[in-house]
């Protein structure tokens, strides 16, 4: 079952399509990574899903509720963490969480239990008496996430939860995402840190200039892409000569010289193309090959391959 279904979602700001007719789905209990360069339309999409920005056209269904017709129902099942810390100065961590529990109409017993549970999950226990204004960036980020979890939402939409965090805090955030997934939450998160997304996401969506350029499981996207098989071939000869031999081979999509150490990067046209034809031609041309390696393409390669680096 899909927990989020986005259908032809569009947001137009005075004739500029910040989000342009995008459709994708996020399965229940999965972690979905929303990736795109700065200005691609991630936050705009997220704000529409969180029902704080009306779509120009199209819609989305979150937890079975339509964001256009049933925004109040969506808010009950959704925890949204924006890309800024909406925290108040002059109150402590516990007071801050208590304030939001009041807004959700919880009685004092429920408030106590909820706050203790959420503080334990987000490791905020030791900070409960600290003033919010004195927290570090990473601590504020955790407090924001804690606030997002208070009403026990089924779906979490997190806009760059790892932005600005140091390596340790990022790793901790990743563990927390996995823990939340184990608790049965569906998680939609945006990020620029592709290597981290690859590790935790079940599927991803890649957005550029408001358009969705790919979505699905990382392995499926890899399979859809032509020319993803990359080899590095090291020669002890002039690599420029190797490149001219390789450039003439039909099955090769592209060939680039790498640095000055006699290495060339070869991209085959599709995954069924063997590197043998390249090696045969090199040997026939009397070029000494000393090493051949297949480079596994990761999320970063996919991202670089399908986005053009253009900012909307």
Ligand X SMILES: Nc1ncnc2c1ncn2[C@@H]1O[C@H](COP(=O)(O)OP(=O)(O)OP(=O)(O)O)[C@@H](O)[C@H]1O
Binding site for ligand X (CB under 6 A): 13, 18, 36, 38-44, 312
51 binds, among ligand X, Mg ion, none (CB under 5 to 8 A by kind): none
Tell me how far apart the alpha carbons of residues 114 and 168 are, in angstroms, rounded to a whole number. 27
The distance of Cα 190 from the centroid of its chain, to the nearest Å, equals: 4
39 contact choice in Mg ion, ligand X, none (CB below 5 to 8 Å, kind-dependent):
ligand X
* Residue closer to ligand X, measured from CB, 41 or 262: 41
Shortest spacing between CB 120 and ligand X, in angstroms:
31
Residues 27-66 that bind Mg ion (CB under 5 A): 42-43
Q: How far is the CB of 78 from Mg ion (least distance, A)?
A: 18
State how far the Cα of 271 lies from the Cα of 14, in Å rounded to an integer.
44
13 binds, among ligand X, Mg ion, none (CB under 5 to 8 A by kind): ligand X
Residue 104 contact among ligand X, Mg ion, none, beta carbon within 5 to 8 Å by kind: none
| Pick from 237, 209, 214, 238: nearest CA to 225 | 214
Under 8 Å between Cβ of 185 and 155: yes
Instruction: Choose from ligand X, Mg ion, none: what does 122 bind? Cβ within 5-8 Å by kind.
Output: none
Q: Which of residues 170 and 269 has its CB atom nearest to ligand X in the complex?
A: 170
* The entry of Mg ion, ligand X, none that residue 40 binds, CB within 5 to 8 Å by partner kind: ligand X
| Residue 21: CB minimum distance to Mg ion, A | 19
Strand pairing class (155-159; 78-81)? parallel
Q: Which is nearer to Mg ion, 43 or 239 (CB)?
A: 43
Whichever of 43 and 122 has its CB closer to Mg ion, that residue is: 43
The number of helices, as runs of H, and strands, as runs of E, in the chain is 11, 14
- Tell me how far apart the alpha carbons of residues 55 and 13 are, in angstroms, rounded to a whole number: 10
Q: How far does CA 67 lie from the centroid of its chain?
A: 22
φ, ψ (nearest 5 deg) of residue 86:
-85, 60
User: Of 52 and 236, which has the nearer Cβ to ligand X?
Assistant: 52
Q: Edge to edge, what strands does the sheet with 16-27 contain?
A: 16-27, 2-13, 57-62, 65-66
216 conformational bin, left if phi > 0, alpha if psi -120 to 50, beta if neither: left
3-state secondary structure of 125: helix
Contact 265, 232 (CB under 8 A): yes
CB of 18 to Mg ion, least distance (A): 11
Q: Residue 44 touches which of Mg ion, ligand X, none (CB < 5 to 8 A by kind)?
A: ligand X
Query: Rounded to an integer, what distance in angstroms lies between the CA atom of residue 161 and that of residue 143?
Result: 11
The residue number whose beta carbon is nearest to Mg ion equals 43
Rounded to 5 degrees, φ, ψ at 25 are -135, 155
Q: How far apart are CA 9 and CA 68, in angstroms?
A: 11
Which of residues 29 and 39 has its CB atom nearest to ligand X in the complex? Answer: 39
CB of 110 to ligand X, least distance (A): 35
Using the minimum distance from each CB to ligand X, give the nearer residue, 38 or 250: 38
What is the C-alpha separation between 224 and 214, in angstroms, rounded? 9
Whichever of 44 and 235 has its CB closer to ligand X, that residue is 44
Nearest approach, Cβ of residue 44 and Mg ion (Å): 8
Closest distance to Mg ion from the beta carbon of 49 (Å): 13
- Tell me the closest approach of the beta carbon of residue 207 to ligand X, in angstroms: 7
Assess 191 for contact with Mg ion (CB under 5 A). Answer: no
Q: Name the residues that contact Mg ion, by CB under 5 A.
A: 42-43
């Amino acid at each position: 079952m899909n927990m989020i279904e986005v259908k032809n979602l569009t947001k137009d700001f005075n004739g500029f399509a910040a989000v342009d007719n995008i459709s994708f789905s996020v399965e229940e209990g999965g972690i979905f990574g929303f990736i795109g360069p700065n200005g691609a339309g991630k936050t705009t999409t997220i704000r529409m899903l969180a029902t704080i920005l009306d779509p120009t056209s199209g819609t989305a269904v979150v937890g079975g509720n339509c964001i256009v017709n049933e925004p109040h129902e969506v808010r009950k099942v959704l925890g949204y963490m924006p890309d800024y810390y909406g925290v108040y100065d002059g109150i402590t961590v516990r007071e801050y969480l208590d304030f939001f529990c009041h807004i959700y109409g919880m009685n004092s017993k429920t408030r106590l239990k909820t706050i203790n549970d959420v503080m334990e999950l987000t490791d905020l226990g030791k900070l409960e008496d600290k003033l919010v204004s004195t927290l570090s960036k990473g601590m504020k980020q955790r407090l924001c996430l804690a606030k997002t979890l208070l009403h026990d939402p089924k779906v979490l939409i997190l806009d760059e939860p790892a932005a600005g965090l140091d390596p340790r805090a990022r790793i901790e955030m990743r563990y927390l995402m996995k823990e939340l997934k184990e608790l049965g939450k569906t998680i939609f998160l945006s990020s620029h840190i592709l290597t981290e997304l690859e590790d935790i996401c079940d599927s991803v969506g890649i957005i550029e200039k408001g358009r969705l350029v790919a979505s699905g499981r990382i392995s499926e996207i890899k399979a859809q892409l032509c020319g993803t098989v990359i080899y590095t071939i090291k020669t002890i000869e002039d690599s420029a000569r190797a490149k001219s031999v390789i450039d003439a081979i039909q099955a090769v999509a592209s060939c680039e010289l790498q640095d000055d150490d006699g290495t060339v990067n070869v991209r085959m046209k599709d995954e069924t193309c063997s590197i043998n034809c390249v090696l045969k031609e090199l040997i026939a041309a009397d070029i000494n090959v000393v090493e051949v390696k297949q480079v596994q393409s990761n999320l970063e390669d996919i991202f670089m391959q399908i986005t053009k680096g253009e900012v909307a």
